Structure 1
Amino acid sequence: MTSEIEYFVIAFAVLLFLFGLVSRRISGTVVTAPMIFVAAGMLLSPEGLDLLSFSSSSTPVLSVAELALVLTLFSDASKIELQTLLSEEKLPGRLLIIGTPLTIAFGAIVAAFLLKDITLAEAGLIGAMLSPTDAGLGQAIVNNTKVPAKIRQALNVESGLNDGGAIPFFLFFLILARGEALKWPVGTLIVLAFEQIGIGVLVGAAIGLAGGWLSSKAVRVGWMTGLYRKIGFMSLAVISWLGADFIGGSGFIAAFTGGLITQAAGKIKATEEEIILTEAEGSILSFAVFFIFGITAAARIFLISWPIFIYAVLSLTLIRMIPVAISLIGMKLHTKTVLFLGWFGPRGLASVVLLLIAMEETGGIGGSETLILAVITTVFLSVFVQGATAGPGSEWYSRIVAALPTDAPERKKGGEPSISSDNLDHQT
């Protein structure tokens, strides 16, 4: 490791320990872990106290960020149950299947209209990077039992799965943006994009099938202990990621597919303890990603223009709220429920990791700096504004629901949200 990376690891370890000391004390306040780690990164950056400095495109930094997303994708996919996804009057499914693609499309259209120095492919890239949501930034909502379980479950399931749904779009637009700069034929770019996605799916499915079957068999014959079931679960995520990347596929697609197939292939469902190990590792890494984001954002925070700031505000409001409203047509939900679901779609871990990848891959492309600033501004506002309003917002909405008739759709019983790597200990 270089001295810069060593300083980063020491600083992050100290910060993580100090945060742990006060984690219970700040629980229930408007302060969240992402806020603290982003602020600390900015404070220690060259623009702050000048104690930390490194390139956001350096291999160790990217590896930490990518591993955090891989563990998140695998663990979230491993918990997918179609019955849950399509239950609660199909609320999570509507947000994912209708809302996510519309959010990407709206985000791209507004970016192309408002940000003049980017191409259509770069506009699509912005839309894709800012479509995944992070329930961890609004953990106060998921944990507030006064908010109807079906609403909390919908936000939880959506945030756990829409990052996997956004990645194919991200890859497609990233390849188009790079290809445009290199003047490659459009047909070649489209084939390359589908190759990466297809190889990722095939590798993830193969590893998931083999890993799930072998784990299930080993458990049945008593060869595998509980500890190594947990370790094996995390290992499959890494194998899927690196295996696909090695042969030219998307490691992220492979990780998501691997998690999905592992549970389906292993007749013994992955236990909560197995998933928690992967999520615990992912949670620590996600804090590191927010720390990296703070250092990266500090260098550009004073370069934000009015068009970029306006876009960030629209991304957190209308660009998400309109697709959410469209996806919920016919469900007879209260207008304030739709607004609540639309507002609490914070951008976090997935957007930051995809940004770091885009920074490495699009360096030198004409609109790359505008693209970077748009994502940084949106995530920064989301971490602090949406994170701070999660607690008060959930209390406000719980009072709205309490005043609704007993037969209102919001008040029908629903299942409690399960633990998700997007909300695991982000706040407590």
Structure 2
Amino acid sequence: MSIGAGWLLAWPLLPGLTRWELALVGAVLAPTDEALGKTDMSSPRVPALVRHGLNVESGLNDGMVLPFFVFFLAAIVQEGEQGVFWRALVLSSILGVLVGVVGGQLLRSAQARGWVSCERAQLFVPTVAAAAYAVGGNGFIAAWIGGFAFGFTLRRFPAAEPQEDLDPLHLQDVPDRTAPFTEHLGELLASLSLLIFGAVLLGPTLENLSWGIVGYAVLSLTVVRMLPVAVALAGSGLGLPTVVYIEWFGPRGLASVALGPLLLEEEHVQRVELLARVVAVTVGLSVLLHLRRLALADRYGSWLEKTTATGRKLREGTPVPESTRVLAGNESHESGRGLEN
């Protein structure tokens, strides 16, 4: 629904683009980026149902949008050469699964024999991600699918003995501590990517603004995000403040920045400069608008506490007690995104 809404709204605001180029705009700007919403993932005032839901969405939607992105791109490249689509989608998925499964099995076998320590095992995870990216087809799809296969293999064949230093809070989510290094590396690279984006790409873009681009950026961060979320959560039993809070969590960031350069490499996209400007303005505005999310999390948490204090039962759950907030605040929120980063 987000891709479709972005596609339709781009039609009157971005004249000169073909229908498939308009579709690419909707696809590139559909995924959200949790890197700009760390407060939602760590604030104990936000109930776990909401925090984990936003985490899952941010971890999945950039990978889920890739098939649409590749399909729209293939439609531009040819309206005859469909091998581009099938090679990127099917072949990349198969190779990603193979690399993920083999990598997970190798790591488990080495751990079972005592050949690798916990610290050394952490270096193996980004190696598997790099291998999946390099095997062929579309590297993004291969690495994304490879992450699923790798994580499934680790959970399907757990280590013989749980590690003693594993935090009990993580025991249900992470089979062993093989991901922290990859998570921190991913956060560092994400921050550097946004820094380079702001320093190199955003400046020249701001010199060539138009009302159509700015208007689309605003609509992309509001209507394109909020209406699909409202429809998706209809009947969920969540309170209106929770739905509004989730709707507002729609920052565009690293996923859009990563997909944008792929357009620059494709010579068949005629108005690639306009597409790049739209993406840059939307991401830049998103970063600016989401700087105050901590205050929003506090206001939402206050509403939740007051409502539950009246005895009303909420589908969202209850806030974390004050005595456990410090511990819960340290909870890892990146268990599903190690390989993807």
Category of TM-score, reference length = shorter chain:
0.7 to 0.9
Please give the alpha-carbon distance, in whole angstroms, between the structure 1 residues aligned to 2:332 and 2:73.
33
Aligned counterpart in structure 1 of residue 84 of structure 2, from 174, 179, 192: 192
Letter in 2 for 1:158: E
Could you list the per-position Cα deviations for residues 365-398 of structure 1 after superposition, in whole angstroms to 9, with x for gaps in the alignment? Answer: 4322221111111100011111x22011111211
Q: CA deviation at 1:318?
A: 0.7
User: 1:310-389, aligned counterparts within 5 Å?
Assistant: 310-362=215-267, 365-386=269-290, 388-389=291-292
Please give the alpha-carbon distance, in whole angstroms, between the structure 1 residues aligned to 2:335 and 2:257.
15
Answering whether residue 294 of structure 2 is matched by residue 391 of structure 1, we say yes
Q: CA deviation at 1:325?
A: 0.6
Q: CA deviation at 1:215?
A: 1.3
Please give the alpha-carbon distance, in whole angstroms, between the structure 2 residues aligned to 1:234 and 1:409.
38
Please give the alpha-carbon distance, in whole angstroms, between the structure 2 residues aligned to 1:126 and 1:144.
32
Answering whether residue 188 of structure 2 is matched by residue 296 of structure 1, we say no
Letter in 2 for 1:237: A
Contact conserved, 1:175 with 1:193, CA < 8 A, in 2? yes
Please give the alpha-carbon distance, in whole angstroms, between the structure 2 residues aligned to 1:194 and 1:262.
23
Contact conserved, 1:134 with 1:422, CA < 8 A, in 2? no
User: 1:238-317, aligned counterparts within 5 Å?
Assistant: 238-244=130-136, 249-266=137-154, 267-268=157-158, 271=175, 273-294=177-198, 295-317=200-222
Aligned counterpart in structure 1 of residue 19 of structure 2, from 120, 124, 132: 120
1:131 is matched with 30
User: 1:21-60, aligned counterparts within 5 Å?
Assistant: none
Contact conserved, 1:208 with 1:261, CA < 8 A, in 2? yes
Answering whether residue 55 of structure 2 is matched by residue 167 of structure 1, we say no
Contact conserved, 1:347 with 1:383, CA < 8 A, in 2? yes
Contact conserved, 2:304 with 2:318, CA < 8 A, in 1? no
Letter in 2 for 1:345: G
How high is the TM-score relative to the length of structure 2? 0.84
Please give the alpha-carbon distance, in whole angstroms, between the structure 1 residues aligned to 2:269 and 2:23.
15
Kindly tell me the number of residue pairs found equivalent between the two proteins: 310
Could you list the per-position Cα deviations for residues 212-267 of structure 1 after superposition, in whole angstroms to 9, with x for gaps in the alignment? Answer: 112111111222222331111110000000112xxxx1111111111111122231
Percent of counterpart pairs with the same letter?
34
Please give the alpha-carbon distance, in whole angstroms, between the structure 2 residues aligned to 1:422 and 1:342.
22
Q: RMSD in angstroms over aligned alpha carbons?
A: 2.3
Equivalent position SS for 1:361 = coil
Structure (1/2) with the larger helix percentage: 1
Answering whether residue 123 of structure 2 is matched by residue 231 of structure 1, we say yes
With over 3 angstroms needed to count, the CA separation of the structure-2 counterparts of 1:343 and 1:382, relative to structure 1, is: same
Letter in 1 for 2:314: A
Answering whether residue 313 of structure 2 is matched by residue 407 of structure 1, we say yes
Equivalent position SS for 2:31 = coil
Q: CA deviation at 1:271?
A: 4.8
Contact conserved, 2:301 with 2:319, CA < 8 A, in 1? no
Could you list the per-position Cα deviations for residues 80-111 of structure 1 after superposition, in whole angstroms to 9, with x for gaps in the alignment? Answer: xxxxxxxxxxxxxxxxxxxxxx1111111111
Answering whether residue 32 of structure 2 is matched by residue 149 of structure 1, we say no
How high is the TM-score relative to the length of structure 1? 0.68
Please give the alpha-carbon distance, in whole angstroms, between the structure 2 residues aligned to 1:339 and 1:258.
34
Aligned counterpart in structure 1 of residue 10 of structure 2, from 108, 111, 114: 111
